[in-house]
Structure 1
Amino acid sequence: MRCGITLFIQGYQDWDRFEAVENGESTTPLDPQEDIKRFDQEIESALKLEDLGFDSLWTVEHHVSPYTMITNPIQLLSYFAGATSKIDVGTMIVVLPWHHPLRVAEDMTMLQYVLRGRTPYIGVGRGAGRREFRQLGFDMNESKERFAESIQVIQKALTEERFSFKGEHYQFEDVSMRPRPRDPQQLLDAMHFSWGSPASAPIGARFGLKPLIIPQKPWADYHTDLTEFSRARAEVGLPPVRPRIHMNVFCAETEAEAEAGARQYVPQYADSAVRNYELFSNHFATTKGYEHYAQMANAVPSKEVAAAGMAQTYLDNHVWGTPEQCITKLRAIADEFHPEEFMLVMRFGNMPQDVAEKSTALFAREVLPAVHEFPTMEPIAYEAEPAAV
């Protein structure tokens, strides 16, 4: 089975200052050296991953806040395409409502060219960060419709030399894209969709996208989502497919060291996610298409409670421990979901570079060979609701 690494490049230490500025409070100015240092370190560490035996390198898209500081995943992956020779690359995700869809198709095509035969896995989604929509100048209420139109435009641009499209948000008349993709079918087959609520799962499935799980809830809950995903694919004549699965990982020589690291850094990641998405805020209640997030926000009384709950969910469901424990947990997830690939984030929160590199090297040495031996199983059909595991 395949196993890759995801770059988050977080600026977690800046959240308090960032929120103070956002609230109009007087505080110390941003020290740009913190961002420069983090980027330099993460790029340096990422350049070692190919030699460590990982199959792919992934990254994310976010704007504005210190949550993750990667504003253009395809641009960053184009650098790594030139700096490596074997690994594939992927996005988790490109937020389509923030982009002109023809430009996304062009960027995907260019990435395919510079990879020279390797595969670009393009995961897409519709976004849930209010700050990002506001500061980029897009209406969050339109995200579902913009996403659906964008997918159709991208698929036409990749497969038709000239195409037309008439939607509410995008209109094209006899448009062409050059260069033509090296292999349009490869790009289509490698497109994935990540979602935040069960009701959103069918949106990407109906357009032939494959599932990309970025877990924020217990694993068993994703069977419901994947059932809806598979049902939506079947409705348009598409067969079951394997998901790709992302998770946070911390690997250490001893169980005590692994638990200490996980309990230090995983809650920092959870706190950062809650702050970025404002999962405690009532704004979702008045935003079209985000009813699931509104229900989540109604269930928590404060930011602190939301962060603590997410931290516990991550500690319960993500992967940390000794190499043997990591293998056991990953095998259980593989047996339950029959994934195509794992994509692991090994540095998150305020984790120092040396701590992350030690964890990554140990994982590569003692866990990765075992993961590569996992069989790639047939996709789960999800013809009926499976029993919780």
Structure 2
Amino acid sequence: MDWGIYLITAQPPGMNEAEVIRSSVEYAQRAEALGYSRAWVLEHHFTRYGLVGSPLTHAAFLLGRTNRIKVGTAINVLPLEHPARVAEEVALLDHLSGGRFILGVGRGAFRKDYQVFGGDMTRNREMIAEAMDVLVAAWTQPEVAGTGEFYPFPSVEVLPKPLTKPHPIVYSASQSPDSVRWAARRGMPLLMNYTLTDEAKLAHLEYYAEAAMEAGHDPTRVPHALSFLAGTSRDGNVIRRQSAEHLAWWLEEYVTATLMFTPEWDAVKGYEWYRRHWEEMVMRNEHRPMDRVERYFALNPIGSPQECIDKLGKTLEMTGLKHAILAFEAAGEPSAVKDSMELFTAEVLPALDPGMKQRTAASMALA
């Protein structure tokens, strides 16, 4: 198994910006010491839902402050960037880190980002496809020219070429069927969302596999990653109480920041799947913050060690996947997050991955 952590970097009431950002560095360093193989940073703008507007900057700093753990972006909102510059920055990070950087990309779901930085949100599916073409060509060809509609530029030699050959792995945060099919046709692994039921995750994987095979890719060789909100305490009710208020705030901050669930959003094409998903939650009377908290408690390993073992084990067995990313910041307050991470690593992970205890001991010896 590959175990990773998410660095959410949200700023809830009662925490200042310095504490949030400092804590993210501490979480990554502790994850490395505990034997985790990957840390994933996020991109958000103009919201306390997440303070990191530059995931590449965040990743670069963490790579410089660690020695073994890989650091990935989950995600870079690729349509907001020029792909030639992203190609340069990713290749440079690949060299500086000795191949420890992972790129994750997506379209993003926050209207204000596009309003401020530019770009037609209704066409960002086309934009990300064109940007990925530029990235791959920039990394693998002597020169690349922007010949598409969105990123026209003359033929140039993009340097440096990546250390990792043919190029660093690129993950896709895809949830809607169209996005899953797009990723599958390119052979890009998925970052699977924590909001999905096990049955939905399995359906995504089956749909991906069919599209990947049609495009000539072997889906059994694609290293998809599962995402989870996570946390544990001896008494499962303790971690649920610690997490409930924070998650309710965080989920409501998302709804406020994304501007997705407003009447104006109906005019934005390309996000119909998200609107249907939200409408279904409303129809089930599960759209209020605490309703969603209870739903996500049911879907994610937050509880006693045994409850987490059972829940996480069921998902791993059903999907057959070997990479899981855990968002311990569900607990909110930094000391609670650290305590939860320590106990989860000591008691939950070895029950599912017997080699984890040995890797933790080896990593602790190097810390």
What TM-score, normalized by structure 2, do the two folds share?
A: 0.89
Q: CA offset at residue 331 of structure 1?
A: 1.3
**Contact 1:81 / 1:115 at 8 angstroms: preserved in 2?**
yes
Which of 23, 40, 46 is 1:58 aligned to?
40
Partner of 1:295: 276
Partner of 1:269: 250
Partner of 1:23: none
**Contact 2:4 / 2:326 at 8 angstroms: preserved in 1?**
yes
Deviations 1:92-122 (A, max 9, x none): 11111111111111121111112114x3221
How far apart, CA to CA, are the structure 2 residues paired with 1:321 and 1:362? Answer: 11
- The range that moved more, 303-312 or 240-249, is 303-312
Judged with a 3 Å threshold, the aligned counterparts in structure 2 of structure 1 residues 371 and 120 are, in CA distance, closer, same or farther, namely farther
- Structure 1 residues without counterparts, runs of 5 or longer: 15-32, 376-389
Partner of 1:191: 170
Superposition RMSD on alpha carbons, in Å? 2.4
**Contact 1:212 / 1:244 at 8 angstroms: preserved in 2?**
yes
Runs (4 or more) in structure 1 with deviation over 6 Å come to none
Partner of 1:253: 234
Judged with a 3 Å threshold, the aligned counterparts in structure 2 of structure 1 residues 311 and 283 are, in CA distance, closer, same or farther, namely farther
Q: CA offset at residue 132 of structure 1?
A: 1.6
The AA in structure 2 aligned to 1:182 is L
- The range that moved more, 3-12 or 131-140, is 131-140
Partner of 2:153: 172
How far apart, CA to CA, are the structure 1 residues paired with 2:205 and 2:162? Answer: 30
Counterpart of 2:74 in 1: which secondary structure?
A: strand
How far apart, CA to CA, are the structure 2 residues paired with 1:45 and 1:144? Answer: 33
The alignment of Structure 1 onto Structure 2 pairs a total of residues equal to 353
The AA in structure 1 aligned to 2:8 is F
How far apart, CA to CA, are the structure 1 residues paired with 2:278 and 2:239? Answer: 31
**Contact 1:282 / 1:298 at 8 angstroms: preserved in 2?**
no
Partner of 2:198: 219
The AA in structure 1 aligned to 2:33 is D
Counterpart of 1:210 in 2: which secondary structure?
A: coil
1:41 aligns with 2:23: yes
Judged with a 3 Å threshold, the aligned counterparts in structure 2 of structure 1 residues 131 and 37 are, in CA distance, closer, same or farther, namely same
How far apart, CA to CA, are the structure 2 residues paired with 1:211 and 1:305? Answer: 26
1:231 aligns with 2:213: no
**Contact 1:282 / 1:294 at 8 angstroms: preserved in 2?**
no
How far apart, CA to CA, are the structure 1 residues paired with 2:197 and 2:113? Answer: 27
Judged with a 3 Å threshold, the aligned counterparts in structure 2 of structure 1 residues 345 and 102 are, in CA distance, closer, same or farther, namely same
- Structure 2 residues without counterparts, runs of 5 or longer: 357-367
Counterpart of 2:76 in 1: which secondary structure?
A: strand
Deviations 1:154-176 (A, max 9, x none): 01011111123411111233221
How far apart, CA to CA, are the structure 2 residues paired with 1:297 and 1:254? Answer: 33
How far apart, CA to CA, are the structure 2 residues paired with 1:4 and 1:242? Answer: 13
The AA in structure 2 aligned to 1:176 is E
How far apart, CA to CA, are the structure 2 residues paired with 1:199 and 1:131? Answer: 23
Partner of 2:72: 90
Counterpart of 2:287 in 1: which secondary structure?
A: helix
How far apart, CA to CA, are the structure 2 residues paired with 1:242 and 1:183? Answer: 17
Q: How does 1:1-389 map to 2 (within 5 A)?
A: 1-13=1-13, 34-117=16-99, 119-187=100-168, 190-240=169-219, 241-299=222-280, 300=282, 305-348=287-330, 351-373=332-354
What TM-score, normalized by structure 1, do the two folds share?
A: 0.84
Counterpart of 2:46 in 1: which secondary structure?
A: coil
Deviations 1:307-359 (A, max 9, x none): 3443233111011112222122211111111223111111147x111111111
**Contact 1:274 / 1:307 at 8 angstroms: preserved in 2?**
no
**Contact 1:12 / 1:272 at 8 angstroms: preserved in 2?**
no
Q: CA offset at residue 130 of structure 1?
A: 0.9
Q: CA offset at residue 228 of structure 1?
A: 2.5
How far apart, CA to CA, are the structure 1 residues paired with 2:121 and 2:98? Answer: 37
- The range that moved more, 82-91 or 260-269, is 260-269
The AA in structure 2 aligned to 1:6 is Y
Partner of 1:386: none
The AA in structure 1 aligned to 2:180 is A
The AA in structure 2 aligned to 1:277 is T
Deviations 1:196-242 (A, max 9, x none): 32232112222221111023232212233222222221121001124
How far apart, CA to CA, are the structure 1 residues paired with 2:349 and 2:287? Answer: 35
The AA in structure 1 aligned to 2:109 is A
